[in-house]
Amino acid sequence: MNKSYKIGVIKGDGIGPEIIDEAIKVLDAVSVALNFNLKYQEMLLGGSAIDETGVPLPEETIQGVKKCDSVLFGAIGGPKWDTLERHLRPESGLLGLRKEMGTFANLRPATVYDELINASTLKASVIKGVDIMVVRELTGGIYFGQPRELLAESAYNTMVYTKEEVQRIAKVAFDIAMQREKRICSVDKANVLEVSQFWREIVEEMAVEYPEVELTHMYVDNAAMQLIRDPKQFDVILTGNIFGDILSDAASMLSGSIGLLPSASTGKGVGLFEPIHGSAPDIAGQGIANPLATISSASMMLRYALGEDAAANKIDEAIKKALQDGYRTGDIGDFDAKEIVSCSQMGDIIADYASR
């Protein structure tokens, strides 16, 4: 009997429906080629949920995602809903969903395609061959530390990590490293922060369970510099919430276009896979959005949530072939383009390659 997976689909707002449709097109092609089944259940989140139900995160969506094997998400938000109270805005719905799903690990790959090497602001010799995975702790650290207070003459936040929080994010990073080049650089500020000293000790304890993985440490200020100076030295970067927030954004720009970059939020249960870009309401409905980040997010879903590595590989190779053959959406059309294609056409091309 063929394997079957239930995928929650949240198209969202703006270009969300367009890019999700193309990802599903590619998923359908590769699932047929490799003989497994995908069943989709659409759910509401964000502005579209507000318009239909009055809230950004309906209870039906909360319960629905918990019954899925994974969730594929487009994008939310737009000026239409910016005047609402903060707890009723689309972004509050996404934060609430992540909390309900227990997604404590944010995975952000930064891959430089040879065909788009001139899209980056860095020299080709520096970025050629870059393939980095940033593993960022998502629900702890200074953003969530208690106590916190804003006073008239001062303000403070506390950076707190528990042993369990460090252990579980470290395990995610080591497991991913085992699927890659078996190298982890743990980034902290252990020379001045006790919480980073604690972080480093726990990560080193975890490393004992993964003798095949080479573990190194780097201070965050040096890591920021090294990402620009010599990004190819990194395979997996493991780090906390605030450092990961900064470093993943820096790493994402090595590729040259935000329209290329996928991400995953995983943790205790069902994972959420999404492009890192926003809903781009200014181009919604024009058919010019770049679906590659969402298609790559679908590949990450197959690899990290469903264990369908062969299918993920087929999608990754299909994207590379489409770029090699000169197909470009408008946002990357200035770089060795043979043909500028629409959002839907790019989906058709990649689905065709992935089906072979």
State the pLDDT confidence band at 151, using cuts at 50, 70 and 90: very high
Mean pLDDT of the chain: 95
Q: 90: cis peptide before it, omega within 30°?
A: no
Is 282 among the catalytic positions?
no
Is 67 among the catalytic positions?
no
Res 256: pLDDT: 80
Question: Which of the residues 28, 245, 348, 352 is marked catalytic?
Answer: 245
* Alpha-helical regions (H) of 3-89: 16-34, 47-53, 59-65
pLDDT over 70 (residue 1)? no
List pLDDT tens digits, range 189-227.
Answer: 999 999 999 999 999 999 999 999 999 999 999 999 999
Is 352 among the catalytic positions?
no
Question: Which of the residues 28, 40, 80, 143 is marked catalytic?
Answer: 143
What are the structural domain ranges in the chain?
Answer: 1-104+258-356, 131-253
Q: Report the CATH architecture of 1-104+258-356.
A: 3-Layer(aba) Sandwich (3.40)
Is 221 among the catalytic positions?
yes
* Average pLDDT, integer, range 57-78: 97
| Sign of the CA dihedral running 112, 116, 122, 127 | positive
Q: Please list, in sequence order, all residues whose beta carbon lies within 8 angstroms of the beta carbon of residue 106, skipping any fewer than 6 positions away.
A: 134, 135, 136, 137, 138, 244, 248, 263, 264, 265
Is 99 among the catalytic positions?
no
pLDDT over 70 (residue 311)? yes
Which CATH fold would you assign to the domain 131-253? Answer: Rossmann fold (3.40.50)
List pLDDT tens digits, range 176-195.
Answer: 999 999 999 999 999 999 99
pLDDT over 70 (residue 6)? yes
What is the percentage of the chain residues whose pLDDT exceeds 70?
100
Question: Which of the residues 113, 161, 188, 189 is marked catalytic?
Answer: 189
Question: Which of the residues 51, 82, 114, 221 is marked catalytic?
Answer: 221
Question: Which of the residues 28, 249, 336, 348 is marked catalytic?
Answer: 249
* Alpha-helical regions (H) of the chain: 16-34, 47-53, 59-65, 90-101, 124-127, 163-178, 194-207, 220-229, 241-252, 292-304, 309-324, 343-354
Rounded distance between C-alpha atoms, residue 119 and residue 260, angstroms: 11
Rounded distance between C-alpha atoms, residue 267 and residue 4, angstroms: 22
Q: Which of 344, 317, 355 is nearest to 20 (CA)?
A: 344
